[in-house]
Structure 1
Amino acid sequence: MAVYLGMLRLGRLCVASLGARGPRTPLSRPWPNSKLQGVRAFSSGMVDCTNPLPIGGLSYIQGHTDSHLVNKTVGECLDATAQRFPNREALVIIHENIRLNFAQLKEEVDRAASGLLSIGLRKGDRLGMWGPNSYAWVLIQLATAQAGIILVSVNPAYQASELEYVLRKVGCKGIVFPKQFKTQQYYNILKQVCPELEKAQPGALKSERLPDLTTVISVDAPLPGTLLLDEVVAAGGKEQNLAQLRYHQGFLSCYDPINIQFTSGTTGNPKGATLSHHNIVNNSNLIGQRLKMPAKTAEELRMVLPCPLYHCLGSVGGTMVSVVHGATLLLSSPSFNGKKALEAISREKGTLLYGTPTMFVDILNQPDFSSYDFTTIRGGVIAGSLAPPELIRAIISKMNMKELVVVYGTTENSPVTFMNFPEDTLEQKAGSVGRIMPHTEAQIVNMETGELTKLNMPGELCIRGYCVMQGYWGEPQKTFETVGQDRWYRTGDIASMDEQGFCRIVGRSKDMIIRGGENIYPAELEDFFHKHPQVQEAQVVGVKDDRMGEEICACIRLKSGETTTEEEIKAFCKGKISHFKIPRYIVFVEGYPLTVSGKIQKFKLREQMEQHLKL
């Protein structure tokens, strides 16, 4: 029996700046003391099988705490699973023809971790992984954790300016990438930022623009100034280096930071959400428990993952759930390919399938869809944006996914905070993002007063618990704007909660666009367009699209007397910003709808554009 997760909104951060919202409003207490009269708290030893419910008619809920949180590092989890299931298939990289059981995976991870230490990386150093899904991605993810090095998940679509920003922001000491994937030439893009690379001694780069970066590792080709990943791993196999690894592991704590995932804010500058072993080990453990993975056989735990590992869904919901629960992780393609995902299900007897709503639409619309064997699959993961109820119904009926569950989360929450149970009804799954996860609190507050809302009334969703990130790397003020001293994380999402504790996402307090599961932040694009010599002002909105959910529409006001074309604006974007951020629609306007105080009304602008474009 496999299960289906859904609607995991990863990296969904829309935090209001202090300037936009005014002084930070103190969040209310979870509930007034008077509401607690007659309510009996569960003792720590009590096991309760009922679902938690909101208290006192207010939008506050706390997940069960009868089970203990896990105080293990990622490496300790892999060690335990390799001891328990040494011969169980752990990882299958279909496009690279690689298969490893858990014992082999642990051996390779140990060698890679030892190799990273042998070239001078140390606990707390940041190492970027930049590229599509591959064996190297999983290996580096687990090896960095094993050695105490902090993995920086770098979007494989980043161009030179975006890459430079994130590497500088967190002070990356090293970066790992393949030479090229499709049209993305990683080595050449890095050389735009670090022209010194070509003549540098491998492992001894001295870069003016990236002064912290010393170590560049190539996955698949010997390139000037780089170390080859295979050679790093081979060096790690030497006994003295493995002994050094074991020594360093004695100083690791489950509360150490282990992963930085970038998520943009309303300013347009990406922020590095910093997660610990404790964050992601416990989140993946609780995901698997809700999916009833401990009761499943090896044959029932075969996860097909066509979505990117640089997202929390892939790295936590995929890799970490596999490591913690002994599930087989099947990477079907380096980047999303609907046909390859179907082939993986059919040939590899996949039982769960991950993807965004857009991915599932593409999978369902494959011309030869009916020719594939769905007898083994029972569920999957639909993530990245809200899935329409009719899509959920189609997935269940056409792909044999009876055990669909719906999930909500954010990168800053490690990520999952709400999730359905497999036995919830279709109506409950289609109409909500599920129920609160264990060891997690949620409250919905009035954005003006900070008071708890009544049930079924909208407000800002806030989360507290073990899952909340350690902070944004090097951004204490932005961290405090999002996670106050009370440790409530403000999601920026507008939600409501019903009497049974189901949460429904109503909307977004900010204007982030979700295009096919990718989070796109208008302010970042607006800043970019302002660099165009003919552009006076730019406003970016999301407009509805049947396939992608939303598409990007740039509303551009030109400088007086200037002219340009839609094609020229798009050409200006190419090679400077990621391909998925290039607007589908360019509309030249004379002005924007404004409030009395002169603020642009983006919701009205969106309506105007959808009418203009006849959407």
Structure 2
Amino acid sequence: MLSYTAGDTDVPLLEETIGANFERVAARFPLRDALIEAAVVPGDEARRWSYEKLNDDVDRLARALLAMGVAKGDRVGIWSPNCAEWTILQYATAKVGAILVNVNPAYRSHELEFVVRQNGMRMLVAAPSDKNSDYVAMAREALTSCPELRELVFLPDLGLDMLNAGEPQTDAELTYAELLKRADDVVPSALKARMAELDPHDPINLQYTSGTTGFPKGATLTHHNILNNGNQIGRLLGYTERDRVVLPVPFYHCFGMVIGNLNALSFGAATIIPGRGFTPAAALEAVQDFGGTSLYGVPTMFIAELALPDFASYDLSTLRTGVMAGSLCPIEVMERVIAEMNMRDVAICYGMTETSPVSTMTLAADTLEQRTTTVGRTMPRLESKIVDPGTGETLERGGSASCARGATP
């Protein structure tokens, strides 16, 4: 039997831009939670956005980008661990048609400069420096050495002692708050006019794949690619506006920004950020404190959560589903995730950055064996096959060089 499969071709596609989709969802669920960022310091208040407030903040940042002269197709980089501003910039760049460039927060100076030069980035939004990375200093090095990079924007440190936000030293540098003030120079109708110029098949995101065999490679993705891929994942997970999706996975990666943000926010669900990076306790606290119904992670993250000495003390009764990706999950871990974390409908996703990313996925009705020894079935509107890399000929099942095509890759 030839190694070819095709997903459901009757599932409808979203023929709209990311910005238009978000406005439609926000109009439908204006007062529901859209984004929650857990407090870093115990006892402090979480930062919260309803759909209405998040859309307003996205529009303000989008108008600020227009005021800076950001054109359709310009590259705007985000170099930061997870934070609410990451999500806001993701949707603001989509509304103005700028291509968001995801920059790995673990990059060192030479890697950052390679990425900035390789894609012609004109603006870089950088995180406050922390104990692991001096983002501010490395961003300034890139500004000096990369001629096409015109502006640095420094994200706020929110008064946290562990962070140190950049203070502008030249006309090319400004704080996030200063950038937002520029929005006052652009009327809302100008943003509407820019959005009307955009097409769902325009490129909107540039994600860099692993550089383990050399420098990272950029994968260019469109509104249509990543919005539909995220939405199809949510359909198979059964997402609705009542879901609350806890995202300890990184936003710079497709796991966080597509399988996470674009997926959940296309259904009116809430996205919950447990912290800047992953810690097992913070992830479970976010589920407990905010009523998480879905939790994401690679298998080692779930192993770390289950290994917490006080694991049994967390109330995880609201969970029902989630996504595992990155590697196959050992059957004994999957058994505990389902039984002890209440994630009875947890799914395994497989794909590549270049395919937007998910190509195959397990379903809630699949057996334990299917969820731990396979990567599921081909996604709707996609085709998968195993080919001879030399001839392109479709092989019998059991080969090792696969390819995928369809509406979302």
- The reply to whether TM is greater than 0.5 is yes
Alignment RMSD (CA, Å): 1.6
Match of 1:432 among 360, 374, 383: 374
Q: Which residue of the partner structure matches residue 117 of structure 2?
A: 168
Partner of 1:122, secondary structure, is coil
Are positions 1:372 and 2:321 aligned together?
no
- Offset of 1:452 from its aligned partner? 2.4
Is the deviation greater in 225-234 or in 85-94? Answer: 225-234
User: Structure 2 matches for 1:245-256, cutoff 5 A?
Assistant: 245-256=191-202
Are positions 1:93 and 2:37 aligned together?
yes
Q: Structure 2: 5+ residue runs without aligned partners?
A: 41-45, 157-164
Partner of 2:401, secondary structure, is strand
Paired with 1:266 and 1:321, the residues of 2 have a C-alpha distance of: 28
Partner of 2:217, secondary structure, is strand
Paired with 1:290 and 1:193, the residues of 2 have a C-alpha distance of: 42
Match of 2:303 among 361, 364, 380: 361
- Offset of 1:390 from its aligned partner? 2.1
Structure 1 residues 347 and 264, CA gap change in structure 2 (3 angstroms): closer
User: Structure 2 matches for 1:384-403, cutoff 5 A?
Assistant: 384-403=326-345
Q: Which residue of the partner structure matches residue 58 of structure 2?
A: 109
Paired with 2:140 and 2:103, the residues of 1 have a C-alpha distance of: 16
User: Structure 2 matches for 1:555-574, cutoff 5 A?
Assistant: none
- Offset of 1:190 from its aligned partner? 2.1
Are positions 1:230 and 2:177 aligned together?
yes
Runs of 4+ in 1 over 6 A off after TM superposition: none
Are positions 1:120 and 2:56 aligned together?
no
Q: Which residue of the partner structure matches residue 230 of structure 2?
A: 284
- Cα pair 2:248 2:275 within 8 Å, conserved: yes
Q: Which residue of the partner structure matches residue 161 of structure 2?
A: none
- Offset of 1:367 from its aligned partner? 1.4
Are positions 1:158 and 2:107 aligned together?
yes
Structure 1 residues 148 and 448, CA gap change in structure 2 (3 angstroms): closer
Paired with 1:398 and 1:327, the residues of 2 have a C-alpha distance of: 24
Paired with 1:132 and 1:224, the residues of 2 have a C-alpha distance of: 23
Instruction: Please tell me whether Structure 1 or Structure 2 has the larger radius of gyration of its CA atoms.
Output: 1
Paired with 2:325 and 2:6, the residues of 1 have a C-alpha distance of: 24
- Cα pair 1:453 1:459 within 8 Å, conserved: no
Is the deviation greater in 403-412 or in 308-317? Answer: 403-412
- Offset of 1:413 from its aligned partner? 0.4
TM-score normalized by the length of structure 2: 0.93
Partner of 1:325, secondary structure, is coil
Q: Number of matched residues? A: 393
Q: Which residue of the partner structure matches residue 43 of structure 2?
A: none
- Cα pair 1:305 1:332 within 8 Å, conserved: yes
Q: Structure 1: 5+ residue runs without aligned partners?
A: 1-56, 195-206, 469-615
- Offset of 1:313 from its aligned partner? 0.6
Q: Which residue of the partner structure matches residue 219 of structure 1?
A: 155
Structure 1 vs Structure 2: percent identity of aligned residues? 42
Structure 1 residues 353 and 223, CA gap change in structure 2 (3 angstroms): same
- Offset of 1:440 from its aligned partner? 0.2
- Offset of 1:464 from its aligned partner? 0.8
Paired with 2:169 and 2:128, the residues of 1 have a C-alpha distance of: 11
- Offset of 1:449 from its aligned partner? 5.1
TM-score normalized by the length of structure 1: 0.62
Paired with 1:380 and 1:119, the residues of 2 have a C-alpha distance of: 39
- Cα pair 2:241 2:270 within 8 Å, conserved: no
- Offset of 1:267 from its aligned partner? 4.8
User: Structure 2 matches for 1:71-86, cutoff 5 A?
Assistant: 71-86=15-30
Structure 1 residues 266 and 133, CA gap change in structure 2 (3 angstroms): closer
- Cα pair 1:82 1:106 within 8 Å, conserved: yes
Paired with 1:335 and 1:272, the residues of 2 have a C-alpha distance of: 23
- Cα pair 1:447 1:459 within 8 Å, conserved: no
Match of 1:182 among 115, 131, 141: 131
